[in-house]
Amino acid sequence: MRDPAPWQKKYERMLLLALLFGLLSQYLFVGAAVGVSAIVFVLGFYGLFFYSVQGRFGGFEKWQGQTSSGWLLCIPIFLLTLTYALYANPFFRAMNLFAVFALVVAQTVLLTRSSVQPWYRGVFYTELLYLSLIKPLTAIAVPFALFIDRFRENRKEGPAKGSAGKVVLGLVLAAPILIVVVSLLASADQIFLSWMNEIPQLFERFSVGDGFYRILVAAFFALYAFCYIWGLLFRKAADYKAAVPSSTEAAAAQKAEPVAIDPITAGTLLISINMVYVLFVFIQFSYLFGAANGLLPGGAAYAEYARRGFAELIMVAMINIGLLMGGLHLIKRTGAKAELVRKVSLSVLIGCTLVMLVSAYSRLALYEDAYGFTHTRLLVHGFMIYLGVLLIIAILRIWKERFSMAKAYIGVSIIAYVLINYTNLDARIADRNMERFERTGKIDVAYLGSLSTDAAPALLKLQKNHPGLAGLNEVIEDLREKARSSDKWQSWSLSKQRVR
């Protein structure tokens, strides 16, 4: 990479430090009231700031005393930040948030001489608003351009020279996916959660929402800190282009050559995720074959354990389909060994996903047995079968390059949609709920009343077997009224005719 400035080699390290600052910020503030964490946060920001602006201090000072005034602001910044560790007045805590932010912006602008106006004139504070709120948005693409540029540089390096970096990149890419996947699996399965709590107890109070929120908070602080400091270092848009020359070159290269992930990076990512999935699948096999009772944490009932988690497993399956698409189309094809690793990793991914779908299907069946059958639950059953067929087709595509997965997916999707139309969903819901009533004595008659006239034959059979069932006569009569209300020949249908 060409260096347009003496300190340009630090750009990537500056971005890395910004990411670490974002992780520190979410750890300090998410789920905890502000206290001494405010001091750590401010010190962390100044560590990033002073590292980034080394070599930019000194030089011509248009207005005498600007730099001295900047250093003098350390006193009020420190004292106001210290109040979070000393006092608990909610009014001043809220006010000091804005005061410290304004003073930090003023100090960093003065020290980097990013404004040509003296600090005692009103226009200086107008520039502060621009530099702190507007200008960082103009640099939002810079960290992504740096990342893409590093990615392309790694592709140009020799296999041995860039292997370690590619492995690290694969782990970095796998980390956010694993955070989401592990949190979903932990929420879906108590045994998996108990095992994760022992490695060590990182997931004791972890939830999907908390994980997403922490990622968003970390990303916000990291991006804002990086883009704000970048805006102080480069005053004009032309400076941005000079600082990151690869941004336009990358765009041109992208047109000439499609983006492809290095096989070492992709293999590291897939293997990392598959390790978690294999552990989870082991638990699922024990559950599917009835051996999970001995693995359950204390106080957990087997029936309740089995009924939980099907929604989370479906979400994981959808994530895996996205990984599959990337593995099929975005991984660079190199040697035979790398290609074998790619195919085996994707096959393991699909195999684990199929086990998750079977587990989710079984869990939903138990859930329906406990709470009854509805449109949503039966449609989810059908959707899981549909996903299973798509995954089996994907396995064929992994090992047979010329197989047209798109054609197969389109054909299967059309067939699946036609079949779901002819399953007579309302009639099936009524039949299944009637069977459950015979076994358990539980039935939601009010929900059956919300079904269409397709459910009438099953309801009439239920009425014949249980004429005294509360509310059933009213439901059937209501269905008949609906059928009679459509008396025009244009509205005739077999379903309505049977209930009339």
pLDDT band at 429 (very low <50, low <70, confident <90, very high): confident
pLDDT band at 4 (very low <50, low <70, confident <90, very high): very low
CA distance 496 to 36: 71
Q: Which residue has the higher pLDDT, 186 or 14?
A: 14
Distance CA 281, CA 278 (A): 5
Beta bridge partners of 261: 331
CA atoms within 13 A on the CB side of 219: 9
Neighbours of 158 (CB within 10 A): 7
Distance CA 99, CA 226 (A): 21
Q: Report pLDDT for 292.
A: 46
How far, in whole angstroms, is CA 11 from its chain's centroid? 27
Rounded to whole angstroms, how far apart are CA atoms 211 and 219?
12
Residue of higher predicted confidence among 310 and 413:
413
pLDDT number for residue 60: 55
Burial of 89 (0-12, 13-18, 19+ CB in 10 A): exposed
Give percent of the chain with pLDDT exceeding 90: 10
Last residue in a domain, options 232, 256, 280: 256
Task: Out of 99-108, 287-296, 321-330, pick the least confident.
Answer: 287-296
The reported pLDDT for the residue numbered 339 is 84
Q: Cα separation of 14 and 33, whole Å?
A: 29
Amino acid sitting at position 241: K
* pLDDT value for 332: 77
Alpha-carbon separation of residue 241 from 6, 248, 350 (angstroms): 16, 8, 43
Q: What digits encode the pLDDT tens for the residues 221-235?
A: 999 999 999 888 887
CA atoms within 13 A on the CB side of 439: 10
For residue 488, what pLDDT is reported?
Answer: 62
Residue 317 lies in a domain: no
Cβ-proximal residues to 55 (8 Å cutoff; 6+ apart), any chain: 6, 7
Q: Could you tell me the pLDDT band of residue 309, with boundaries at 50, 70 and 90?
A: low
What local confidence, expressed as pLDDT, does residue 247 receive?
45
Question: What is the reported pLDDT for 207?
Answer: 58
Give the pair of three-digit tokens for residue 282: 């082991």
Q: If phi over 0 gives left and psi between -120 and 50 gives alpha, with beta otherwise, what is residue 471?
A: left
Q: For the segment 101-156, what is each residue's pLDDT rounded down to a tens digit? A: 999 999 898 888 887 788 778 888 888 888 888 888 888 888 888 777 766 665 55
Lowest mean pLDDT among 31-40, 341-350, 477-486: 477-486
Give the number of other CB atoms < 10 A from CB of residue 49: 20
In sequence order, the β-bridge partners of residue 331 are 261
pLDDT of residue 42: 94
Question: Is residue 356 included in any domain, yes or no?
Answer: no
Q: What is the DSSP string of 438-490?
A: HHHS---HHHHTTS-GGGHHHHHHHHHH-TT-TTHHHHHHHHHHHHHH--SGG
42-62 tens-digit pLDDT: 999 999 999 888 866 655 566
> What is the average per-residue pLDDT within 166-192?
76
User: Mean pLDDT over residues 366-378, rounded?
Assistant: 81
What is the pLDDT at residue 45? 94
Q: How many domains does the chain have?
A: 2
Whether residue 418 is predicted with pLDDT greater than 90 in this model: the reply is no
Give the model's pLDDT for residue 258: 53
**First vs last C-alpha separation in the chain:** 80
Q: How far is the C-alpha of 162 from the C-alpha of 362, rounded, in Å? A: 45
405: its two tokens = 């997965």
pLDDT, residue 389, reads 92
pLDDT at 31 over 90: no
Among 122-131, 306-315, 400-409, the minimum mean pLDDT is found in: 306-315
Instruction: Tell me which of 193-202, 264-273, 435-444 is least confident.
Output: 193-202
In sequence order, what are the residues at sequence separation of 6 or more whose Cβ sits closer than 8 angstroms to the Cβ of residue 313?
Answer: 184, 185, 188, 356, 357, 359, 360, 363
At 299, the pLDDT band (50, 70, 90 cuts) reads low
Kindly indicate the confidence band of residue 336, based on its pLDDT and cuts at 50, 70 and 90.
Answer: confident
Residue of 320, 381, 376 lying closest to 345 (CA atoms): 320
In the chain, pLDDT over 70 holds for what percent of residues?
A: 74
State pLDDT tens for residues 180-193. Answer: 777 777 776 666 76
Domain C-terminal end among 256, 280, 303: 256
pLDDT at 48: 92
Q: What is the pLDDT of residue 221?
A: 93
Q: What integer is the mean pLDDT of 465-488? A: 76
The two tokens of residue 146 are 């740096």
**Of 256, 284, 317, which closes a domain?**
256
Residue 318 in domain: no
Q: At what angle do helices 208-233 and 11-29 cross, to 10 degrees?
A: 140
Q: Determine the Cα–Cα distance for residues 250 and 330; give it in Å rounded to an integer.
A: 17
At residue 21, the pLDDT reads 94
Containing structural domain, residue 59 = 8-155+219-256
Mean pLDDT, rounded, of the chain: 77
**For range 155-184, the mean pLDDT:** 70
> Which of 36-45, 55-64, 174-183, 192-201: highest mean pLDDT?
36-45
Q: Which of 25-39, 98-112, 187-201, 370-384 has the lowest mean pLDDT?
A: 187-201
Query: What is the rounded distance in angstroms from the CA atom of residue 181 to the CA atom of residue 242?
Result: 40
Q: Which residues contact 180 (CB under 8 A, 6 or more apart)?
A: 208, 211, 212, 319
Confirm whether 104 is domain-assigned.
yes
CA-wise closest residue to 451 among 469, 433, 465, 467: 433
Q: What confidence tier does 248 reach under pLDDT thresholds 50, 70, 90? A: very low
Q: Which two tokens stand for residue 360?
A: 């989710």
339 located within any domain = no
Q: Does the pLDDT at position 321 exceed 70?
A: yes
